[in-house]
Each structure stands twice: as C-alpha cells, then as structure tokens.
Amino acid sequence: MNRSNVLVSLDIGTSKVKVIIGEVTNDGLNVIGVGTAESNGMKKGAIVDIDQTVHSIQNAIEQAERMIDMEIKNVIVSINGSHVHLQSCHGVVAVSSETREIGDEDIRRVIDASQVISIPPEREIVDVYPQQFVVDGQDEINDPRGMIGVRLEMHGLLVTCGKTNLHNILKCVERAGLEVEDICLQPLAAGEVALSKDEKNLGVALVNIGAGSTTVSVFVEGQMIDTLVVPLGGDNITKDLSIGLKTTIEEAENVKKDYGHAYVPEAQKDVTFSVTTIGSNEKKEFDQVLISEIIEARLAEIFDFVRKEIRRMGLLELPGGYVMTGGVVNMPGVTELARDIFRTNVRTSFPTYIGVREPQFTVGLGTLQFAHQNAKIQGKVFQEGIGKLNQAEPVPSMENREKPRREQKAKPKKEDKEPILKKLQNYFFD
C-alpha cells in the first residue's frame, strides 16, 4: 500500500461525526476504514461545546482505527456554514525559468499572487481552488506544468471563513490528538462524488440536506459559482414530529427513521405505530399518513427556500436539474416531493463504495477525492494519514485517550517548533 496516498477525511456534522480512511489514486478511491459517532457538541453546523465535540471526534477516530488496526495521525477537515464566503480571485506572474517552462514554483507563485487582496480583519483565507490557468492568452488550461510560456495567469475561487469558527474547529481537532493536513470546502467535496461532469457542465444544483442545515451549491460550466446554507434540516423535522405526536425528541427521531415518508400521496394508512406521550405512560397509535403530512410540510418549506435562493442568483432554469444528497434523503418520498416543487428533473445521489453506501458519507468521500486532486494541481505533498500502532501498547480507552495522545505529540513539538494551536491563537488574538 502506498501510504502517501492514504488520506483520512473528518466530517464534523450536526448529528454525526464521520471519519473515512481511503487509498486515493488518480484512477479512483479504495475505502479501507470508516468510523461514525454521535455528534453532541454541534448545533446548526456550528460548534457549541468544545469538550463534547472532541469526545465525538475521538469516538469516530477510534472506531476507524480499530477497523484497520493502525493509528490515525493526520486528517483533512471539511468545513461549511454561513460563515464561509466565496469570491473570485485572479493572479498573474511571469514565468521564472530561463527555458520558460512552467513548473511547480510558478504554480505556487501565481496562487500566492491571487491571495493578495483585502479581506475584513475578522476573516481568514482558508484556501484557493484554481478553476483555470491562462498561458500567454490561452485559457481553459487545467494543469500548465511543462508548457512553455512567458505570462501565467490563474482564475480561481478564494474561500474565507470567520476566524473564530476556524479556531474552534482546529482546536477540537488538535485536542483530539490529530493534525490538520488540509481544509476542504464541503460543497466542492460533495460535488466530486454526487455530480457527473455532464451535470456540472449543463448547470445543476446540489442540495445537501443534513441534520442542522441544508447546503445548496450551484455548478455551471464545470465550476461551482455559488453556495449558501439554509438553516433548516432534519432536526427541524424531528422537532415538528415531537410536537405533533407529543412525544420525546428521541422517540420522534426513531419514528422518523422507521416510519417516515416525505410524500403524502404515497404514504400508507395501514402502516401504524405507537409512541409514548410525554407526561404519562400511555401509548397512542398513529399511522404513516399523519406523520407524512408533518414531514412533507417542513421539507416543502426547505425546498421553497432553496428555489427562492437559486432564483436570487439569477438562474431561472438549470438544465441539469437538482441532485439530492445528505442523511435526510434516505427517507422515502423526498425525491417525489422535490419533483413536485421544483418542476424539473430531480435525482438522489448515493455513494457506490462498499461500506459507505449512504448519502451521509457523500461529503467524507468527496473530501478525499477533491483534496487529492487539488493537491496535485497546487503541488502540495500530503503526509501519511495513518501510522503503525505501538504493539506493546493497546489503543487507549476513551476516558484515557486524550491525555496520552496529546503527550506523545507534545514532546516533539516543543523540541521542533511552537505548537500550531498556539500560533493560531497568537495570530487571531494578538
């Protein structure tokens, strides 16, 4: 196994923390480890409790480590939320080589040049994603390495996010005993798995319905042109069911997963179930049609927000239609309801990799593929994502896990350089 191609993605969601270990090559992806855990420190896609988020990350990491019997060292973190902003950027440099052959150094220089722009002090540049290179006026070049030219330009997408949000994410990962290898934007990652090249070229909207929020991303002519977050998701459906059935959130969530249907015309009245009413030990019986009416109303509201936001972007028609992904689309009837509301072609995207054939893993899988391709374009070299466990010492238990891993990683850091977290704190809060 070529370890340099073994990458680990970390997707910190509102309901689940997902870890995927994959061997990534230019030809595809081979998933070799998966870990999932309940996410207790997140609300609406934002961290609200550092300790609980760290514990959730550790649970997911340990599960993935036990699957491959190796230690996870570095992770690629996917980020999303209303604090993430996109803007176009442009860089121009002269080719430095005497032979005028474009190399890795020229690529790095033009990417650095594209970041010389003014941004608000409370925001931080996360990364630049090249969309196309231009060599002496010739555009639409994906990789200019090896070409001969005098002037090199790059048109790309600059991603910025709030310093506080970024600081909290990095702090959670650091406290979990991990190093952040790279940061990846979730909509771009999800599009890598959920969308085909033809859909991206024609014009398509990717709707990722998670527990805390719904992310809408629009791709036109092969590139993402905009993304936004609607602060409604599966948790809102669960709360509506809890109120309608007068039961607990936990029981409402189980009802949604076991009996939920998003399209009333296809719901079945003979599918019944009973739930315990809050404030008493009595159980009441309900049918699928009743909860389908509640679910459809909330999902219709979410889809209506999506449609309005896409029209606000000035896109009246998307030839590629809509592609649905995210944990909520596991529920029957979501696609049928979306077709009724959007009045165009709609399909649901499910990953095809063994062990992760659920839409909740779309972002994690896409993070591995997109980060690998983007690193190749930018000339980045990723470190090993995993390493061998010390056979003399077992994997530490969850209650003792954080301290040993931090101590093991802290000693070489003090000898070599100042810790990353301290640098960030000094930079953000100087």
Asked if 95 contacts 152 with a C-beta cutoff of 8 angstroms, the reply is: yes
In this prediction, residue 45 carries a pLDDT of 77
Largest distance between two CA atoms of the chain: 83
**pLDDT of 48 above 80:** yes
Q: For residues 405 and 312, which has the higher predicted lDDT (pLDDT)?
A: 312
Structure tokens, 96: 């430095």
In this prediction, residue 314 carries a pLDDT of 87
In this prediction, residue 320 carries a pLDDT of 94
Cα distance between residue 36 and residue 39, in whole Å: 9
Domains, the chain: 3-82+164-188+364-428 (3.30.420.40), 85-162 (3.30.1490.110), 197-348 (3.30.420.40)
Q: Cα(first)–Cα(last) distance of the chain, in Å?
A: 44
In this prediction, residue 425 carries a pLDDT of 53
395 CB contacts (<8 Å, ≥6 apart)?
Answer: 62, 65, 66, 71, 389
**362-399 pLDDT per residue, tens:** 999 999 999 999 998 988 888 878 887 654 444 444 44
Cα distance between residue 347 and residue 205, in whole Å: 11
**pLDDT of 412 above 80:** no
Structure tokens, 299: 């999902």
136 CB contacts (<8 Å, ≥6 apart)?
Answer: 149, 150, 151
Q: For residues 118 and 391, which has the higher predicted lDDT (pLDDT)?
A: 118
**167-203 pLDDT per residue, tens:** 999 999 999 999 999 999 999 999 999 999 999 999 9
Cα distance between residue 252 and residue 255, in whole Å: 5
